[in-house]
């Protein structure tokens, strides 16, 4: 579960980098080029299978571990002791459910609709390049206030999940030492802020532009 989680942490950085092209570049061409590459490159297609496998493994092991916890402690303590439990770990299963729901909706909105829904319209650029205009799908969604605020809310919840999962993943792999753990926790906080702020600022810039 930890390895699958770390794999997904890396994927989020790649995904963020591509999405930032929408607001950092003067033309949507760069985003469409990156998206076209991700849709057509054979290595990326193989990576997609690995990615979905990583997501599936992460979910399966999460469910197994949660069931094992329930079996090990079928009756709650009369007085709960959270002195050693952060709020992030306490609600990790709740944040996971929200993240999973968002993931399903997100895939249906963009991934499956572009692959199996109506054909994505093509756009011809001044240099003669013709490719799918995937940017128009994203820009259209980020013009909807409800979608924008729902999107940001889900990434805030994802941030709670990531803050716990980042450090927990390394701890599970045995990297737990008084010298290294504070560094890992600090890196986890920086990573979480980068992902949450990065993904949240994109719809805000597009919506208010």
Question: Three-class SS string for the chain?
Answer: CHHHHHHHHHHHHHHHHHHHHHHHCCCCHHHHHHHHHHHHCHHHHHHHHHHHHHHHHHHHHHHHHHHHHHHHCCCCCCCCCCCCCCHHHHCHHHHHHHHHHHHHHHHHHHHHHHHHCCCCCEEECCCCCEEECHHHHHHHHCCCHHHHHHHHHHHHHHHHHHHHHHHHHHHHCCCCCCCCHHHHHHHHHHHHHHHHHHHHHHHHHHHHC
pLDDT in tens, 126-159: 667 777 888 888 999 999 999 999 999 999 988 8
pTM score, whole prediction: 0.76
pLDDT in tens, 103-130: 888 888 777 666 666 657 777 766 677 7
pLDDT in tens, 173-200: 777 777 777 888 888 899 999 999 999 9
């Amino acid at each position: 579960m930890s390895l699958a989680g770390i794999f997904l942490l890396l994927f989020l950085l790649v995904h963020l980098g591509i999405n930032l092209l929408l607001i950092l570049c003067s033309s949507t061409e760069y985003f469409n080029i990156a998206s076209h590459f991700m849709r057509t490159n054979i290595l990326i297609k193989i990576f997609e299978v690995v990615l979905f496998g990583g997501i599936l493994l992460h979910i399966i092991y999460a469910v197994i571990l949660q069931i094992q916890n329930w079996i090990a402690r079928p009756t709650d303590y009369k007085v709960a002791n959270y002195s050693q439990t952060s709020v992030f770990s306490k609600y990790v299963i709740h944040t996971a459910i929200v993240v999973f729901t968002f993931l399903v909706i997100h895939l249906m909105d963009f991934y499956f609709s572009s692959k199996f829904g109506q054909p994505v319209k093509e756009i011809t650029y001044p240099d003669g390049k013709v490719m799918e205009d995937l940017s128009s799908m994203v820009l259209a969604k980020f013009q909807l206030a409800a979608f924008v605020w729902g999107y940001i809310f889900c990434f805030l919840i994802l941030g709670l999940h990531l803050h716990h999962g980042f450090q927990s993943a390394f701890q599970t792999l045995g990297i737990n030492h008084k010298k290294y753990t504070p560094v890992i926790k600090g890196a986890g906080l920086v990573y979480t802020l980068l992902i949450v702020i990065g993904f949240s600022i994109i719809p805000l810039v597009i919506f208010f532009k």
